[in-house]
Amino acid sequence: MSDKESGVALVIVAGAGLGAGLARQFSSAGMEVAIASRNPHNAEEIAKDVTRVNQGPAHGYGCDATDETDVAALFDRVSGELGLPDLVVYNASGFLMKPVMEIETDELVQQWNVTCLGGFLVGREAARRMSERGSGSLLFTGATACYKGSANFAGFAIGKFGLRALAQSMARELGPQGVHVAIINIDGEINGPDHAHEIPEKGIDALLDPDAIAQTYLALHRQHHTAWSHEVDLRPAIEKW
């Protein structure tokens, strides 16, 4: 396959770290990129930066991934303006690090809504449209917590375990319909604006590079249908695991 390809990629939710890296990678590959965030301004700023750097089209949209009406409206708008997405990435995630006895019900529900419910709503909407066409890639961003509930991470692991279960069920159901579903488990911290202060202490090689991560997402999308991967782990070479 050529390094350049046409098609539409939709990244939900895009931030300055991995989300922006995914958008840059897909744009560099020749895809038209739609970037969605709860804050439309943030999505538009990332889209402008991607367009400036890659000279390829990128577009920002507002969307609350935990609201099914909002999600459906996003797909309608992207499909109407750019075309039906060929690649959809659910990159949104809540985060909750607390001892079990200190977790409040409302914060657990909020974390689960973003991490798992949003994945279901986006995945279902993508599946309805892709299965009718008979092609497409749906990729979920996972974490170490997808398969290991560590101490003080019960609140986070509940959502990520659910997301992994969702991805497995969808892959088995949608694969025969031509839709490639995969989950990428990120085992480590991702380099970005929020972690810039950690580089001198930990060293740059201790943090995952978002653009390098994004290369794996693109490779999954490009896989031939006779040799699909479903679950992939990514971690720095020096990560202890």
Three-class DSSP labels, 56-99:
CCEEEEECCCCCHHHHHHHHHHHHHHCCCCCEEEECCCCCCCCC
Q: What is the mean pLDDT of the chain?
A: 92
Listed range (8-17, 184-193, 197-206) with the worst mean pLDDT: 197-206
Is 3.40.50.720 the CATH number for 8-234?
yes
Across residues 23-44, what is the average pLDDT? 94
Specify the pLDDT at position 108. 95
- pTM higher than 0.85, yes or no? yes
Residue ranges per structural domain of the chain: 8-234
pLDDT of 194 higher than 70:
no
pLDDT of 2 higher than 80:
no
Specify the pLDDT at position 141. 97
